Amino acid sequence: MPLSLAQLRRNYTLYGLRDDGVPADPMELFDQWLNQARKTEVPPAEANSMALATVDRDGHAHCRMLLLKGFNAQGLFFFGHYLSAKGQELASNPHAAMTFFWPGLERQVRVEGPVVKVDEQLSDDYFDVRPAASQLGTWASPQSQALSHRSELDTRLREVTEHFAGRQPPRPEHWGGYCLQPRRIEFWQGRPNRLHDRLDYRLHDATWQRTRLAP
Ligand X SMILES: Cc1cc2nc3c(=O)[nH]c(=O)nc-3n(C[C@H](O)[C@H](O)[C@H](O)COP(=O)(O)O)c2cc1C
List the binding residues for FMN.
64-69, 86, 108, 143-144, 188, 198
Binding-site members for substrate are 9-12, 69, 126, 130, 134, 194-196
CA 163/CA 143 separation, integer angstroms: 20
Residue 49 sits in the site that holds ligand X (CB under 6 A): yes
CB of 75 to ligand X, least distance (A): 15
Which residues, in sequence order, are CB contacts of 3 under 8 Å at separation 6+? none
Q: Where does residue 208 fall: left (phi above 0), alpha (psi -120 to 50 degrees), or beta otherwise?
A: beta
Among positions 53, 83, 85, 122, the unique one binding ligand X when judged by CB under 6 A: 85
Angle at 133 between CA 80 and CA 143, to 5 degrees: 30
Residues touching ligand X: how many (CB under 6 A)?
15
Q: 194, 202, 210, 212: which one is catalytic?
A: 194
Give yes or no: 194 in active site: yes
CB of 68 to ligand X, least distance (A): 8
CA nearest to 74, candidates 119, 129, 35:
119
For ligand X, the binding residues in 144-203 under the rule CB under 6 A are 144
For ligand X, the binding residues in 50-79 under the rule CB under 6 A are 62, 64-67, 78-79
Among positions 80, 177, 182, 190, the unique one binding ligand X when judged by CB under 6 A: 80
CB of 43 to ligand X, least distance (A): 10
C-alpha separations of 203 from 27, 111, 184 in Å: 12, 12, 6
CB of 79 to ligand X, least distance (A): 6
Which positions are catalytic?
Answer: 194
Q: Which residues bind ligand X (CB under 6 A)?
A: 46, 49, 62, 64-67, 78-80, 84-86, 143-144
